[in-house]
Chains A and B, each alone.
Chain A
Amino acid sequence: MPERIDRRIPGDRLLTVVAVVLAAGLCVGGFFFWWRMRAVAPAINATQQPSAAGQLLNEPLVITLSVPVDGLLVAVPAPVTRQPDTQSLAREALAALFADPSGSQAPVLKDLRLRGFYLDAVGTGYIDLAPVEQREVRASVSEELIALYAMVNTLSQNFEEIKQVRFLVDGREVQTLAGHIDLSRKFTKRMDLVKQ
């Protein structure tokens, strides 16, 4: 009589057990997740309170502005609204510099407004400026130099993606802002202009 040997493939039952356990785990996990969501959702609707993650996103980000004070640049912390990308966040940082009590009164900066900021793929940031009410920018060499590096240092020190900065006025390249500093070139941060 021929012998019949039924051979079980080793691990076959183990595989089934693992699959069943995983399926059960997923079911339990899914149920738990559903239950938690169900429990949390009415609370939010009822009280209109943001979740912990939402709270973090809405919290302002503190950056360091380089503000012109007495012919040098001074580091000033400033809160800015979080943004989804570097370009938008850098624009917020520049807007904060122009809104800062010292920055808004500084020569050159007080005669200009931020028109836009663009960041290209190689890390060049383009600051697009416009004169306030077509006002002429009048400043000394030192005032013009410090105002430009206030913007350059604010960007370079907070965003490592911004390698260099170029300036535009009304979307175009110009020779200077107040007749002294060459705007046809790229600017990188300068620490010798920062007050120690």
Chain B
Amino acid sequence: MRKHFILLSIPFLLLALRADAVSSEKGLMVKNVRFFSYAAFTRIVFELDAAAPYVVMKSDNGRSVTLSAYNGPLSAMVSMPVVHDGVVKALELHQEGSRATIVVQLDAAAGEVKDFVLRGPDRIVFDVMKGVVAAPVAQTERRKLIMLDPGHGGGKDAGIVTAQGQEKAVTLELAEAIKRHLLKKNAELVVTLTRERDQALSLDDRAGAANAAGAVLFVSLHAASGAGTRVYIVDPDEGSLAPAPVAHKTFLDFDAGNEQQERIWGSQQASHTKASGELGRRLALQLGMTGGEPVQAPLAGLKAVDAAAVVVEVGMGQDRSWVAEMVAEGIASYAREDR
């Protein structure tokens, strides 16, 4: 009986060994690369087709970190994103014969680099901590940076479409007008747009751009049919402040305990509730909203913004040059105050 069992088990054992061998020979397939700039560190997320062992090499001078597959080739199906936030200088895909590697070039403010794995979907995460050297973005602290975010954009996301035009075009035009008004009277401000052309950007990309630039104020512009203008702020969600789960070890014995850090993304706005409320009230009064109070809403585009943040929704049928002037005045009066 025992003999039969052993004989029967052999094909299954061979299959299991073969499957394991195939898995490790498959190497690493990187489907997407994302990055997020936080106050204390920059996170680079490599989204994988399937989890597999990997190798991290630090250069002798400590200015770069290389990611490669432990066994088999590394292939990246996407181009590397442009990163330059004072901590990470660049992400590069290097091809040496049949062997590819991803090199993370570190900038002056980079400190320790930590890596870990997250499952479901499988990801390799690099956290580049900020070191003792100040990041280049610190120079904008003297000149307050205002980030204007023209909503929607790109071929697939035109926003609402009315006889007055497409929302993506209206918001871009409005953002440019607000920027002009702001710079005309406020030389101490730096005004940047999340997009300056018809371009598709995710909500995280927009929040990430504002956080990376060190914006003190974020105004996302949207449009609606009709003539009214509304100002929105994020309403506090009790769930987003819930404590993170206890760290656990999974997958190839790597410590996946940094889930707690991942949970930070998306809850940055919680610490700016008061400032956003104040900015929202100022803009609501400036725009003549009934009651002078901004509307609270669970806004997906603001929850990851690490600054005072509002959404202004302008009526398509409204005088947009007047709206641009009023929004610019509201922003300027808020930014002028010493915070």
Which of B118-126, B139-147, B156-164, B328-336 lies at the binding interface? B156-164
CB proximity of B265 to chain A, nearest CB, Å: 12
The yes or no answer to B108 lying at the interface (CB within 8 A) is no
Q: In this assembly, does A90 line the interface, its C-beta being within 8 Å of a C-beta of chain B? A: no
B179 at the A/B interface (Cβ < 8 Å)?
A: no
Q: Which residues of B contact A175 (CB under 8 A)?
A: 203, 300
* Chain B residue nearest to A164 in the complex (CB): B239
Tell me whether A186 is interfacial, beta carbon within 8 Å. Answer: yes
A184 and B299 CA atoms in complex are apart in Å by: 11
Is there an interface contact between B299 and A142, defined as CB atoms closer than 8 Å?
Answer: no
- What's the least CB distance linking B327 to chain A, in Å? 15
Complex alpha-carbon distance, A176 and B311, angstroms: 15
- Asked if A185 meets B224 with Cβ closer than 8 Å, knowing A138-B159, A141-B311, the reply is no
- The number of A-B residue pairs with CB atoms under 8 Å apart is 63
Classify chain A's interface size: 10 to 19
Residues of B within 8 A of A138 (CB): 158-161
Is the Cβ of B159 less than 8 Å from the Cβ of A179? yes
When distances are taken between beta carbons in the complex, the residues of chain B under 8 Å from A141 are 222, 224, 230, 232, 297, 299, 311, 313
B152 touches A179 (CB 8 A): yes
Please, how many angstroms separate the alpha-carbon atoms of A187 and B297 in the complex? 11
Is B160's CB under 8 angstroms from A182's CB?
Answer: no
Judge whether B151 is part of the interface by a CB distance below 8 angstroms: yes
B80 to chain A, nearest CB (A): 24
Q: Which of A140, A143, A179, A185 contacts B237 (CB 8 A)?
A: A185
Give 1 or 0 for each of A155-196: 1 = CB within 8 Å of chain B CB: 000000000000000000001100111111111000000000
The complex places the Cα of A141 from the Cα of B231 at a distance, in Å, of 10
Which listed residue, A139, A143, A181, A186, touches B299 by the CB 8 Å rule? A181
Least CB separation from B222: chain A residue: A141
Residues of A within 8 A of B161 (CB): 138
For B218-262 the 0/1 string (1 means CB < 8 A from A) is 000011110000101000010110000000000000000000000
CB distance from A153 to the nearest CB of B (A): 15
CB within 8 Å of A: which B290-312 residues: 295, 297-301, 303, 311
The answer to whether A151 has its CB under 8 Å from any CB of chain B is no
Contacts of A179 on B, CB cut-off 8 Å? 151-152, 157, 159, 203, 300-301
Knowing A180-B222, A185-B240 are in contact, say whether A140-B298 is a contact too (CB < 8 A): no
A141, A176, A181, A185: which has the most chain B beta carbons within 10 Å?
A141
Contact with B along A135-157 (1 / 0, CB 8 A): 00011111101000000000000
Q: In the complex, which of the residues B159, B167, B300 contacts A181, with contact meaning CB atoms closer than 8 Å?
A: B300
Q: Is the CB of A142 within 8 A of B303?
A: no
Q: Which residues of B contact A182 (CB under 8 A)?
A: 237, 298-300, 303
Provide the bound-state CA to CA distance between A181 and B223, in Å: 15
Interface residues of B in 272-295 (CB under 8 A from A): 295
Pair A185/B298 contact, Cβ less than 8 Å: yes
Q: In the complex the two chains form, is B313's CB within 8 Å of A140's CB?
A: yes
Residue with the greatest number of chain B CB neighbours at <10 A, chosen from A139, A143, A185: A185
Give the nearest-CB partner of A185 in chain B.
B237
Q: Cα distance A9–B230 when bound, in Å?
A: 90
Chain B residues with CB under 8 Å of A186's CB are 237, 239
Q: Using Cβ atoms and an 8 Å threshold, which residues of chain B touch A139? A: 160
- Complex Cα spacing A141 to B171, Å: 13
A184-B203 Cα distance, complex, nearest whole Å = 14
Contact code string B158-176 (vs A, CB < 8 Å = 1, else 0): 1111000001000000000
Q: Name B224's closest neighbour in chain A (CB-CB).
A: A140
Nearest chain A CB to B225 CB, angstrom units: 7
- List the 3 closest pairs (A to B, CB-CB), nearest first: A140-B224, A182-B300, A182-B298
28 A-B residue pairs with Cβ-Cβ distance under 8 Å, sorted by A, are A138-B158, A138-B159, A138-B160, A140-B224, A140-B225, A140-B313, A141-B222, A141-B232, A141-B313, A142-B295, A145-B295, A145-B297, A175-B203, A176-B300, A179-B301, A180-B222, A180-B297, A180-B300, A180-B311, A181-B299, A182-B298, A182-B300, A182-B303, A183-B300, A185-B239, A185-B298, A186-B237, A186-B239
Q: A140-B160, A182-B299 are in contact. List 8 more A-B contacts (CB 8 A).
A: A139-B160, A140-B223, A141-B230, A141-B299, A142-B313, A145-B297, A175-B300, A179-B301
